[in-house]
Amino acid sequence: MTLDFEAIAVLIGAVFVGINGWKAISLKSLKAEIADLKERVDRAEQLGGKLATWQYEARLYIALLRNRMADQGIQAPEMPHALSDEPTP
């Protein structure tokens, strides 16, 4: 599975901005979030069958965040196909 980590960084940044009311985002914290996400993906890929569950949960979480952003009037960034907000079990 290939993930577009730049798109994920944009999403994480947009979520932080949405949650914190347009406060400044620290690049260091964003890099830490991306590193954590990469580690989770690596672990999921090592577990094989668990990857589908992780993908499903990630899609649900992204859908929730996009809905929260929409409720606040914030336009969510476009998502790569691998992380579309339409969960498929």
Is 63 among the domain residues? yes
Cβ–Cβ under 8 Å, residues 77 and 14? yes
> Residue 40: its pLDDT value, please?
73
Q: What is the DSSP string of 47-66?
A: HTTHHHHHHHHHHHHHHHHH
- The parent domain of residue 27 ranges over 5-75
User: In the chain, how many domains are there?
Assistant: 1
Q: Is the pTM of this model over 0.85?
A: no
Contact between residue 13 and residue 81 where contact means Cβ atoms under 8 Å apart: no
**Domain annotation covers residue 85:** no
- The one-digit pLDDT tens for each residue of the chain (89 residues) are 455 656 666 666 666 555 554 444 555 666 676 677 777 767 766 766 565 666 667 777 777 777 777 777 777 666 555 554 454 44
**Residue 89 belongs to a domain:** no
